[in-house]
Amino acid sequence: MLYRVMAKSELPSLIQGFMESYEVVAPVKRGNRHVFDVVETPEDIVLDYVQTDSSPKKYLFPPVEELMRFDAQMNLVEDFSKVVTPRVIFGVHACDISGFNRLDVALAQGKYCDPYYKAHRDATMVVGISCQPGAECFCNLMASDEVQYGYDLFLYDIGDKYLVSMSSVEATNILEACCDISEATDEDRKVFRHLTRERQRAFNPDIPHVDDVPMLMDVFHSDPFWEELGSRCLSCSACASVCPTCYCFDIVDVLEPDSCQGVRERHWDACTNPDFALVAGGYNFRPTGRERVRHRMYHKLNGFMVNHDRMLCVGCGRCVSACKVGINPIEVLRFFERKGAEDAK
């Protein structure tokens, strides 16, 4: 990996450089919240945010996406090629880039590549930014507090400068054209190491680190804990909407009033929806909140790990705020911590 240093005062010039050829999406302030949105000027961007309400996933995997057009009467599908907007997602935290990398595994790198997701991903540059953890962040427990790939540039705040990790030729060319960059000095590296250690110490120590979570989930699969957790679920889908790694979807055919021409769309779905597992014949293979919430937590903390050697949860903490009845991975970690304490008695 190549590293260079740029002055913070040059940031507007870098963003302006991206704006010449790309739509730029970045964190902006809306009231007392932060969201990712399209920006018109560098001044719109707010980089010292703790967490945005929802993740930038929507730019790679839109909430509603047209898949194809068809003529139901002629039984014809129109030729369809995805038109995507060349875009830079600027100011993304390591946890959300880790989220993109998880989505890549699920949607772009498997046996069946999702061409729609891949088209967005290929047309998107990602510029990461270092951050300070909030009280609900636990990316450090999910191996997502640092990221080594999945971005074009990553800016580490080292005071009045950024240490820039450069990972793509295209972004590096823009950086070099817009900013006066230099080699990192020993002092820059020292400051970087010091701030990295400080950040590690800033994570909330009350969120338990539990070893062997996937194995424990198998052992306690029938524990009454899941009944209690599931009975609280409102099936509101807020957790899946804000999550950077949820990728469940439904397919909907929308017919014109003439009942001939139509559009096939995919819409975000959530495994906590009561009819998510409803199949033909009226059978529902996850009929209760217990099964649905348990399935969600298993996918995040067990199943994806078993298949891909990493958790599907990146510890961004968004569902901790979004779920109004306190269902989130931290509660699962706390349950296993309690179980461990009981076993030790």
CB of 335 to ligand SF4, least distance (A): 15
Part in contact with ligand SF4 (CB under 6 A); list of ranges 5-13, 27-35, 80-88, 228-236: 228-236
**By the rule CB under 6 A, 237 interacts with ligand SF4:** yes
Distance CA 23, CA 89 (A): 9
Q: Which of 305, 316, 332, 333 binds ligand SF4 (CB under 6 A)?
A: 316
Q: Which is nearer to ligand SF4, 263 or 277 (CB)?
A: 277
**By the rule CB under 6 A, 305 interacts with ligand SF4:** no
Q: Which of 97, 305, 314, 333 binds ligand SF4 (CB under 6 A)?
A: 314
Q: Which of 153, 323, 332, 333 binds ligand SF4 (CB under 6 A)?
A: 323
β-strand pairing of 153-157 with 124-129 = parallel
What does residue 223 show for φ and ψ, rounded to 5 degrees? -65, 145
**DSSP conformational letter for 284:** B
Collapsing DSSP to helix, strand or coil, 145 comes out as: coil
Q: Which is nearer to ligand SF4, 17 or 315 (CB)?
A: 315
**By the rule CB under 6 A, 244 interacts with ligand SF4:** yes
**Residue-wise DSSP of 262-316:** EEEEEEE--TTSTTTTB-TTS-BSS-SHHHHHHHHHHIIIIIHHHHHSS-S----
**Residue-wise DSSP of 216-252:** HHHHTTT-HHHHHHHHH-----HHHHH-SS---EEEE
**By the rule CB under 6 A, 245 interacts with ligand SF4:** yes
**By the rule CB under 6 A, 204 interacts with ligand SF4:** no
Distance CA 295, CA 140 (A): 23
Q: Which is nearer to ligand SF4, 58 or 69 (CB)?
A: 58
Q: Which of 322, 332, 335, 336 binds ligand SF4 (CB under 6 A)?
A: 322
Total residues belonging to the chain: 345
Q: Say which amino acid occupies 92.
A: V
Q: Which is nearer to ligand SF4, 6 or 271 (CB)?
A: 271
Structure token pair of residue 193: 């190491």
Q: Which of 17, 56, 91, 315 binds ligand SF4 (CB under 6 A)?
A: 315
Chain residues binding ligand SF4 by CB under 6 A are 233-239, 242-245, 272, 293, 300, 313-319, 322-323, 325, 327-329
